[in-house]
Structures are given as structure tokens and as C-alpha cells.
């Protein structure tokens, strides 16, 4: 089904009409207590609807919710009929000016000017005393709203037309579903989701902390979290080694000259920390990206076509001045470690290299069981100054990337204005437990930097050529990737990533010695193992091991000692199994070495 048809079908659906009608009902109720409020947009959204208002000098707060809900219920009872009508622009403006609806006036004019209003006619819907410019559709009357199917949710600010230079409106979000049960079910699911939120689990599992005195958005990784980082990084080193990447290492602080050359100044200034001035005249910046340094390494000697592709990889620390209000745990930070690499290649190698990168992210995602993502082709916006001005090259490189996606049978959405300033991107988008979508992995085609850095290689004919550059980060940044993994796994990591891989719990003191023997055997195999020799009760030890989400608990008692065995209790599996110690060790080591995802219950112990 095409996107347009899908939208039309959605707009005609009952849930859409219900939510849209409720938006009008809410607006009517809000106008009862704030008659001078100006209306913005009020569309249905995923779990309900919202409406934007300009309250001027008399703001509203969530303490008004009860009152508004009561008024909405009254409107529902009145069974106000929704009546559609059409008006010309003149009629529309006259009507809207009477009520001072400046935002609607702007939108009405725009709809007519851009030809989006069919025949220059604007749609209106009236229900009771409320009239709104709106294309519909709606329910027949307000009485068709099911009982208790909605609930006002939260208040948030929102710029008019999404433009931060324009007025900030007040947005009231509401939840709305087909019936009470669905509403309750959603609220319950949201409560449950909060429990696997990465910030909550990150604190519970001692993965990372963010300290005011260190700074907002500057997370510090505790030993447990650092293990997860190290394991991902080790993995990336192996995968990249096999794919022909070479590792490099470059500094996090750099003279401003580099960023004048790259164009980060001015294109990316807003995303950078302000400069440090040295010796009164010299400016240094914290780096927001690793690419310029890698380009310098590329230039460190003359390159031949025989050398290409050159793939320079670095888990590089970068610093970005993210707006304070957009920071969120480790999902959105100001200091991050990126699974970065830059691939320098000839023009006719671009497709193959791009394809290989796409295969690499696919490999990672399949392995980690990160299934629920969206692929976005991020294009430039020719009307925006955020992008390097070179229309022809933009279109050309966007075509290359689009073709790669098609040839690889990858479903994707195109979005204008989401590109990097130097080229189009393929972004892998994931949503967290609260429904917030972020870019995780990215692969970008860069046609700008070769020119700016005067990058060259000598081709078969001895002539100087510009290489193409791919920027890629399939494992994202540690911060963002681990935030998503924490939530996806609910904090229960597979053995290979787990801070503690095995917890040994002896049943009584007589087996302590045997427990210690097993512990040192695992330790000698480089496994992260702990033995609980505390004075707590057996039940308490089990409970503690489980709440720490340790993937493997090995129970040791007199029976096990006699048989040279252990009883294996896994975090994700109900049944436990008694196993000979040699076999148990072999299983564990294999899971670790092959990075088996034993935090899922389809992985079984090889007996």
C-alpha cells in the first residue's frame, strides 16, 4: 500500500474520527474557561490527540484538567451534531477575524495560496457553539464518544509551526481509545514500560551516573557499565578487522582552523561547545565529530588507487553542545563515544562500500535482536542554509544512496532536511520505551569534505582524483546504543556482555571450598564470576542474584559436590538443570566466545 492511501484509510478510520472529534470537544471546553485563547493545530496522534492554544497572559496548568474533562463530558452528553461546511477565503477571514484567530488566519491564507484548499474553499466543522476550520472527518455527533474513553494527559510547550523563532503555544495532550478498557490497558502498559526505562535500570544496575558537579549530559560509566562498553567495543574491533578497517586514534581537542576548513564553522557551530582561547589569539574546540581528524590522516601521505578503499576506524569521543532541554539520561548526551569510521574510495566503489556498511549494521542488529527499527533516507532541504550549497551534487549523491537501498531491498522512508550538512544519510531509527524516536546507526555519503580538505589519490592513469567518503556508525554511540539495549533487554544482558557472568551460590558452608574451586576455574577462563559467601539466607542470595539480573546462577550443594556438578539457574528460563561441571564450563565459554544471546529463552544449554 502506498503511503498516501494508507493516510487516507487512517483518516477515515473510526479511531481517527473519534480522536479528532475529541480534539474539538476539548477545544470547546477549554474556550469555556479561557474565552480569549487562540487556537493552533489539534490533530489526532498515536495514542490520542492534542490541541495547541495561545493563552496569552492567562496560562493554564494541569490542575485545570479535572474541570476541562468535566466540561468535555457535558458536551458529549449534549450530543452536538458535527456539521461540515465550505467557505471562501473572504468568508473565512471575516469569520476568523471576529474571533481573533490569528493562527488559523495564517493557515487559511497559506492553504489557499499553496493551492492545497480545493477550489479555494476551506472546510469548517460546527458542533454546538464551536466552529473550527478543519478538513475532518468527524463522528456524527459528540454523543458517539464512548464512555470514559479519554483522559487529559499532559501539558507541553510547542512552537507555532514547529519554528523556534515563532510564538510558543501551549499544547494539551490527551489519551483517547475506542473504549475504557483500551485506555486503561494503555496506561498500564506505559507504567510497565517505565520500569524498563534505561535511566531507572542504569541506576539499579550501577551502570552509569550523571553528576551535577561534573555537568549535565556528561555521564560517567561505573565498572558495570564499562564492561558493556568494552564488550561492544571488542566486538566492533573484531568485526571491523575482518572487514578491512584499520584503527586509528586522534585527539578530542583541536584548533579552530580545522573546523573552518571542514565547514563545521559555520554549518555546525550551534552543535559545538564554545571555543577555548589560548595565548590571546588561538582558538581550540572540543571536537563534535571525528571526520576532520581522519581526513588529516588520509592526507598524511600520497595515496594511490591501489590503496583504496582505505577504512579508518576509531571509537572516538566527541562533544556536542546539545540544548539543555533535549538531554535525556544517556540517550541524549553532550559527551559520547562513537563507533565511527570513514571509508575513502573511488567513485565506482561507492555502491559496494555502502552496501557492505548496510550489511554490517544488519549483522549487528540481527545478532543483538534489535528488530523494531525504521530506515530513513535523510535528504537535504534546498531552502535551508543548514546544508552546503551544491544542488547538483546533492541530487546525484542522494540518487546513489537511494539506489543502494533499493538494490538491497531495504524498506525506507525519505525525509527532507534530515541530511548531514555535507551529504545524505541513511539513518536507522529506534523508539525507546516511552515512544521517543532517535537515530541510532547512520551511514552517510560525503561529497563535500574531499574538496574542502583537498583529498586526492592517483588513479591508474597517473592522474589526480578526489576520493568519495562514507561516514558510518553502525553501533551508534555507546551511550545511545546501550540506552536502547538496556530497554530492549529490560536490563538482562546476555552472558557475553554481563557485568557479572556467573554467580555461584553455595547451599551451605560445607561446600564453600568446592564453590571456590569452581570460581577460580571460571576466573582462570577470564569469566566474570562472583561467589556469594555472605551470611544471608539461601533464599535471600537467590533473590539478590535475580534482582541483579545476573544471567547465570550456579547452585552448589552437597549433591553437586559429590557428582562434580552444578545446578544451573538462568535468568530468562524457568527450568533449571543439573550439569556436570566440565559441560557447564564448556557451555558458558562457548556462549561467551560466540556472543550467544542467551538472555533469550530459545537458547538452550547443550547437555
Considering only 46, 98, 164, 280, the residue that binds RNA (CB under 7 A) is: 164
The candidate with the shortest Cα–Cα distance to 387, out of 420, 416, 421, 353, is 421
Q: Which of 61-69, 116-124, 136-144, 235-243 is the region at the interface with RNA (rule: CB under 7 A)? A: 61-69
What residues have CB less than 8 Å from 160, skipping those under 6 apart?
A: 40, 52, 54, 103, 166, 167, 168, 169
24 among annotated binding-site residues: no
575 makes contact with RNA (CB under 7 A): no
Asked if 329 touches RNA (CB under 7 A), the answer is: yes
Q: In what order do the strands lie in the sheet with 122-127?
A: 83-87, 122-127, 130-133
* CA quadruple 409, 413, 416, 417: dihedral, nearest 10: -90
Nearer to RNA, 103 or 130 (CB): 103
Complete DSSP assignment for 556-583: E-HHHHHHTEEEEEESS-S--EEEEHHH
Please give the Cα distance from 321 to 217 (Å, whole number).
9
Interface residue with RNA, options 558, 586, 590, 606 (CB under 7 A): 558
CA distances from 46 to 69, 407, 409 (A): 20, 32, 28
Which positions from 469 through 488 interact with RNA, judged by CB under 7 A?
A: 473, 476-477, 479-480
Q: CA–CA separation, 507 vs 536, rounded Å?
A: 11
Which residue's entry shows cell 539513518?
427
170 binds RNA (CB under 7 A): yes
Nearer Cβ to RNA, position 563 or 606? 563
Q: Which residue has the cell 551460590?
A: 505
By the 10 Å C-beta count (0-12 exposed, 13-18 middle, 19+ buried), 313 is classed as buried
Task: Measure Cα distances from 173 to 11, 28, 72 in Å.
Answer: 19, 15, 14
What contacts 250, CB < 8 A, 6 or more positions away? 290, 293, 294, 296, 297, 314, 316
**Least CB distance from residue 393 to RNA, whole Å?**
19
Is the Cβ of residue 61 or residue 461 nearer to RNA in the bound state?
61
- Does 291 belong to an annotated binding site? yes
Query: Binding string to RNA for residues 334 to 373, with x set by CB under 7 A, is what?
Result: x-x-x-----------------------------------
Under rule CB under 7 A, residue 537 binds RNA: yes
Q: Label the pairing between strands 577-580 and 83-87.
A: unpaired
Q: Is 69 in the site for RNA (CB under 7 A)?
A: no
Is 342 one of the annotated binding-site residues? yes
Q: Which of 74, 128, 538, 589 binds RNA (CB under 7 A)?
A: 538
Is 576 near RNA (CB under 7 A)?
Answer: yes
Q: Is 439 among the residues that bind RNA (CB under 7 A)?
A: yes
Query: What are 310's strand-pairing partners?
Result: 344
Give the contacts of 415 (CB within 8 A, at least 6 positions apart): 376, 377, 378, 379
CA 231 to the chain's CA centroid: 21
- Does residue 559 interact with RNA by CB under 7 A? yes
- Measure the CA–CA gap between 346 and 344, rounded to whole angstroms: 7
Residue 441 sits in the site that holds RNA (CB under 7 A): yes
Residues in 132-161 at the binding interface with RNA, rule: CB under 7 A: 154-159
Stretch in the footprint of RNA (CB under 7 A) among 10-18, 70-78, 396-404, 558-566: 558-566
Work out how close the CB of 516 gets to RNA at its nearest, in angstroms, rounded to a whole number.
Answer: 14
Nearer to RNA, 292 or 506 (CB): 506
Considering only residues 94 to 133 of the shown chain, the ones binding RNA according to CB under 7 A are none
Q: How far is the CB of 180 from RNA (least distance, A)?
A: 23
Q: Which of 162, 251, 371, 462 binds RNA (CB under 7 A)?
A: 162
Cell reading at 526: 577470564
CA dihedral of 339, 345, 350, 355, whole degrees rounded to 10: -40
Residues 267-286 that bind RNA (CB under 7 A): 270-271
323 binds RNA (CB under 7 A): yes
Considering the rule CB under 7 A, would residue 442 count as an interface residue with RNA?
Answer: yes
Write out the binding residues for RNA, residues 199-228 only, by CB under 7 A.
Answer: 199-200, 203, 210, 212, 216-217
β 246-247/130-133 pair status? unpaired
Instruction: Give the shortest CB-264-to-RNA separation in angstroms.
Output: 11
Check residue 100 and report its DSSP letter. Answer: T
Candidates 427, 519, 530, 598; binder of RNA (CB under 7 A) is 427
Phi, psi dihedrals of residue 124, rounded to the nearest 5°: -130, 150
Count residues contacting RNA (CB under 7 A)? 78
Binding test (CB under 7 A) with RNA, winner from 59, 244, 266, 302: 59
Distance CA 270, CA 266 (A): 8
420 binds RNA (CB under 7 A): yes
Site mask, RNA, residues 280-319, x = CB under 7 A? ----------------------------------------
**Residues annotated in a binding site:** 291, 342, 471
**Residues annotated in a binding site for Zn(2+):** 291, 342, 471
Amino acid at each position: 500500500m502506498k503511503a498516501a492511501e494508507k493516510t487516507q484509510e487512517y483518516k477515515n478510520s473510526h479511531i481517527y474520527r473519534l480522536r479528532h472529534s475529541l480534539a474539538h470537544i476539548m477545544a470547546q471546553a477549554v474556550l469555556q474557561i479561557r474565552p480569549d485563547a487562540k487556537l493552533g493545530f489539534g490533530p489526532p496522534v498515536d495514542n490520542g490527540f492534542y490541541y495547541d492554544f495561545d493563552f496569552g497572559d492567562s496560562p493554564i496548568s494541569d490542575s485545570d484538567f479535572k474541570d476541562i474533562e468535566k466540561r468535555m463530558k457535558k458536551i458529549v452528553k449534549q450530543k452536538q451534531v458535527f456539521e461540515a461546511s465550505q467557505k471562501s477565503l473572504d468568508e473565512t477571514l471575516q469569520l476568523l477575524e471576529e474571533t481573533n484567530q490569528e493562527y488559523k488566519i495564517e493557515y487559511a491564507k497559506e492553504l489557499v495560496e499553496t493551492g492545497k484548499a480545493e477550489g479555494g474553499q476551506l472546510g469548517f466543522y460546527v458542533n454546538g457553539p464551536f466552529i473550527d476550520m478543519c478538513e475532518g472527518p468527524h463522528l456524527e455527533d459528540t454523543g458517539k464518544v464512548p464512555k470514559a474513553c479519554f483522559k487529559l494527559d499532559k501539558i507541553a510547550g510547542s512552537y507555532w509551526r514547529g519554528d523556534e523563532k515563532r510564538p510558543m503555544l501551549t499544547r494539551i495532550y490527551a489519551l483517547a481509545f475506542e473504549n475504557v478498557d483500551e485506555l486503561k490497558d494503555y496506561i498500564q502498559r506505559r507504567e510497565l514500560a517505565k520500569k524498563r526505562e534505561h535511566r531507572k535500570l542504569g541506576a539499579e544496575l550501577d551502570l552509569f551516573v550523571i553528576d551535577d558537579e561534573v555537568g549535565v549530559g556528561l555521564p560517567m560509566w561505573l565498572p558495570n557499565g564499562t564492561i558493556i562498553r568494552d564488550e561492544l567495543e571488542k566486538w566492533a574491533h573484531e568485526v571491523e578487522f575482518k572487514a578491512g578497517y584499520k584503527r586509528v586514534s586522534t585527539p578530542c581537542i583541536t584548533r579552530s582552523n580545522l573546523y573552518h576548513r571542514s565547514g563545521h564553522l559555520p554549518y555546525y557551530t550551534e552543535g559545538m561547545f564554545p571555543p577555548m582561547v589560548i595565548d590571546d589569539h588561538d582558538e581550540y574546540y572540543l571536537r563534535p565529530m571525528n571526520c576532520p581528524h581522519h581526513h588529516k590522516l588520509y592526507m598524511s601521505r600520497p595515496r594511490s588507487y591501489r590503496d583504496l578503499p582505505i577504512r579508518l576506524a576509531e571509537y572516538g569521543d566527541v562533544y556536542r553542545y546539545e540544548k539543555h532541554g533535549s538531554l535525556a539520561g544517556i540517550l541524549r548526551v553532550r559527551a559520547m563515544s562513537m563507533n565511527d569510521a570513514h571509508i575513502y574510495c573511488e567513485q565506482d566503489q561507492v555502491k559496494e562500500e555502502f552496501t557492505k556498511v548496510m550489511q554490517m549494521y544488519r549483522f549487528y542488529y540481527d545478532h543483538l535482536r534489535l528488530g523494531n527499527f525504521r530506515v530513513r533516507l535523510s535528504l537535504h532541504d534546498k531552502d535551508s542554509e543548514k546544508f552546503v550549497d551544491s544542488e547538483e551534487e546533492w541530487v546525484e549523491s542522494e540518487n546513489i544512496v537511494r539506489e543502494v537501498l533499493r538494490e538491497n531491498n531495504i524498506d525506507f522512508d525519505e525525509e527532507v532536511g534530515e541530511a548531514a550538512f555535507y551529504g545524505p544519510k541513511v539513518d536507522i531509527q529506534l523508539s525507546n520505551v516511552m515512544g521517543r524516536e532517535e537515530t541510532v546507526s547512520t551511514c552517510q555519503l560525503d561529497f563535500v569534505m574531499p574538496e574542502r580538505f583537498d583529498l586526492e589519490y592517483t588513479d591508474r592513469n597517473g592522474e589526480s582524483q578526489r576520493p568519495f567518503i562514507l561516514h558510518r556508525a553502525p553501533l551508534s554511540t555507546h551511550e545511545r546504543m546501550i540506552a536502547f539495549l538496556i530497554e530492549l533487554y529490560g536490563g538482562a544482558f546476555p552472558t557475553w556482555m554481563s557485568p557479572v557472568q556467573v554467580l555461584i551460590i553455595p547451599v551451605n558452608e560445607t561446600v564453600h571450598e568446592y564453590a571456590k574451586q569452581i570460581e577460580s576455574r571460571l576466573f582462570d577462563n577470564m569469566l566474570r564470576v562472583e561467589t556469594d559467601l555472605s551470611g544471608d539466607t539461601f533464599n535471600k542470595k537467590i533473590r539478590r542474584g535475580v534482582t541483579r539480573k545476573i544471567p547465570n546462577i550456579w547452585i552448589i550443594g552437597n549433591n553437586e559436590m559429590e557428582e562434580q556438578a552444578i545446578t544451573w539457574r538462568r535468568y530468562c528460563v524457568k527450568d533449571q538443570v543439573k550439569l556436570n561441571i566440565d559441560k557447564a564450563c564448556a557451555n558458558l565459554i562457548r556462549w561467551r566466545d560466540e556472543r550467544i544471546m542467551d538472555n533469550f529463552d530459545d537458547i538452550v544449554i547443550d547437555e
